[in-house]
Homo-oligomer: A and B are copies of this chain.
Amino acid sequence: MSHEARFDSLNLTLPDAPKPAFVYRSIVISGQHVYVSGHGPILPDGSWIKGVVGRDIDLEAGKNAARQTGLAMLATLRAELGSLDKIKRIVKTLGMVNTAPDFYDHPKVINGFSELMADVFGVEAGIGARSAVGMGPLPGNIAVEIEAIFELA
């Protein structure tokens, strides 16, 4: 099953691919790799999921923000590459969670992103190396920011 076929079967609603508002590109292709800029949890209406996880929003809302960040990244990849079938696999994810000082469940939050990638690219190609940590604050007080490296097919 191709990544695009799997993507279609999931009936996901993607936001528009976010346009860089500052001095960077959404992705850079270098050799066999796609370097994806830090993405945030932008919704289809253009608003962002904001707040400190463990203080302003809870774990489940944080996980949903990570999933939404993944949807935004999929939108970028489809817009920039034309098709998810151009991708061989996800290589590496850096998951940054805007968290309270006593919140320690960053991996559970970033699973919202990682489970989506596994659904879309399959377990073999969709699960990569990862770090998931607390960081902050994040730009615009978004709840989650995630950057990733993909390998081209």
Q: A residues engaging B (CB < 8 A)?
A: 21-28, 30-33, 35-38, 89, 91-94, 96, 99-108, 110-111, 114-115, 118, 127-141, 145, 147, 149, 151
Give the residues in chain B near A134, CB-CB below 8 Å. 135-139
B91 close to A137 (CB less than 8 A): no
B35 with A32: CB separation less than 8 A? no
Q: Which residues of B contact A26 (CB under 8 A)?
A: 129
Known: A25-B128, A26-B129, A147-B131. A106 touches B139 (CB 8 A): yes
Contact A133–B118 (Cβ < 8 Å) = no
Q: Are A37 and B131 in contact (CB under 8 A)?
A: yes
Is A23 touching B118 in the complex (CB atoms < 8 A)? yes
